Amino acid sequence: MSSALEQDSSLRLLALGDGFIYARALHLAAELGIADLLAGQERSTEDLARRTGTDAGTLHSMLRALAGCGVFTESAPGRFALTEVGACLRSDHPRSVRTTIAQSGRITARAFQHADHALRTGDGAFATAFGQPFWEFLRDNPQEGAAFDTAMQEHSRVERGAIVEAYDFPRTGRIVDVGGGDGTLLAAVLTARPLTTGVLFDLPHVVERTCLGEAGLTERCEVVGGDIFGDLPAGGDLYLMKSVLHGWSDADAVRILRGCRQAMKPDGRLLLIERVIPAGDAPHTSKAFDFAMHVMAGGQERTGEEYTRLLTEAGLTVGRLIPTGSVQSIVEAVLPGDRP
């Protein structure tokens, strides 16, 4: 019995160690646009190889491996089609994650080659891999910066429904999205609450790509470019920050939170929408992302207790911790004495 258990444990570890093979195959499939080529039709490996400039034998091997994960299906020998899962790699899918996965292959995978540096020093490994810190790299490489913005939009499109459903957003008032990217989440909130107004705040070159016009929200939403460590738009009834603090150290996170506290109305609210690490050994995406943030940017995901500590240091109080139907949770913060 013990021998069988040890064998099973060994096989489990070997399978876990092989996970990078499937991840890299997925990165390449996204980068090559395989799902776009298979939209609405199956194709032969040879056809796909011609269209992507790849070797047919190696491409078949990669697609067959991903078919084993449910991304594609080999409908006949040497012919592949999309599955429902793989359809989300299409560029035009409403819940597309193609850009996120492709950029992960170009950026994250390269940074992780230096993960040992982060592990030994506590410093993010991105600068070791690319010669400059993550945010500076995105600034100086506009194409990758735009891809990162698109990746954040993809995350928000996938998660926004669950977030809007989980929290009773105010029916009226001014909602400020700090670090809100192109406004995907803010647009969802304003659409669900037609009597509210909004402010989208992010770096000037980021908010230039706002989606608020497409959503018909231009007249209800102000777009402000600025620095998250500078003055934030004041007078908001509700402030949102989605996937912002996990990119920063504790000291920087407290600076950002103090800026929010200064900008908030006395009865205002702040929502931190982040992956909150649960207790125990159960698998959770926040645990893997925590390691990724340490490696990439010297940031981190945090537990509920750690968010409470940061908020307290910034002069705020935790009102509630609210799970959503996505990987994100909502940490609601208020000014001391203004408990919900």
Question: What amino acid positions are annotated as catalytic residues?
Answer: 246
How many other C-beta atoms are found inside a 10 Å radius of the C-beta of residue 327?
16
Tell me how far apart the alpha carbons of residues 176 and 179 are, in angstroms, rounded to a whole number: 10
Buried b (16+ CB within 10 A) or exposed e, 23-56: bebbbbbbbbbbbbbbeeeebebeebbeebebeb
Count CB-CB contacts under 10 A for residue 262. Answer: 12
Which amino acid appears at position 79 of this protein? R
Are 299 and 246 in contact, with CB atoms under 8 Å apart?
yes
H helices of the chain, in order, are 2-17, 19-32, 34-37, 45-52, 56-67, 98-103, 109-112, 115-121, 126-130, 134-140, 142-166, 184-192, 204-207, 250-263, 285-297, 304-313
